Amino acid sequence: MKKGRVLAISGVLISLLVILVSGGAATTRQGNVEQPHWAFNATVIEACSCPMFCQCYFNSEPAGHSAHRSGHDLEHFCRFNLAYYVNRGHYGSVQLDGAKFWIAGDLGSDYSMGETDWAVLIFDKSLSRVQRDAIVTIVGYVYPVKWKSFTTAEGVIDTWKYNRDVAHATVDGGKTAEIKLRRFPSMTNEPIVIKNLAYWGVPRHEGFVLMPNEVQAYRVGSNAFETRRTNGFMITLDITSKDVQ
């Protein structure tokens, strides 16, 4: 996948790198744009429509799904939900510790050229404008792809919790979006973890903690979807401005 750090919003490519967040005297330079130093460590409850384990990490197209029409070819898509909790982070002087946000979307049928279909980034209503701008900038480095459509929204991420066996997250009590994962039995009481597998543009993470979903859904608008008993995992990732200079 190409590593262009650009999002497509309403069909027009807009560089995330020109979104500046106030605060922070120390800066790094990306082209002609100065950015504050930043750091981002977050845990993600993640699920998608692919079978376990998501083949998108090994191929340039998602899994095929039945189109429910006789004789029709399989339809390829990866419809996903990502529920973020920032363990520690900052963008210049803008603090991100404890921030919650959500990304729902679809990678589309073929992302071999680094172009994906659509995504919506949902900010928890508690986040300030500068925190939201900081998150959008950092997300552009975590997922260095081009979206045909990328929009933002806000809601209340009122559930975000996990233990060894179950993970659960909701937006607006599940009316907007929901993920529920449950650990698959393993050889021991510990979860199954995949390590040394790249996660998008992230240089460090603690491994994919495999937990198939009981449900993963985005329930608003024309792109609403819901799948059950498909791929799911948790991951704690780490990235800083020094990694992307």
Query: What is the widest separation between alpha-carbon atoms in the chain?
Result: 62
Express each pLDDT in 118-163 by its tens digit: 999 999 999 999 999 999 999 999 999 999 999 999 999 999 999 9
190-212 average pLDDT score? 95
Q: How much is the pTM?
A: 0.84
Contact 31, 142 (CB under 8 A): no
Residue 21 has pLDDT above 80, yes or no: no
161-167 average pLDDT score? 95
Express each pLDDT in 205-231 by its tens digit: 999 999 999 999 999 999 999 999 999
Could you tell me the residue ranges of all domains in the chain? 39-100+156-244
221: phi then psi, degrees, rounded to nearest 5: 80, -175
- The one-character DSSP state at 173 is G
The token pair that represents 211 in the structure block: 């937990």
* Buried-state track 163-172, b at ≥16 Cβ within 10 A, e below 16: eeeebbbbbb
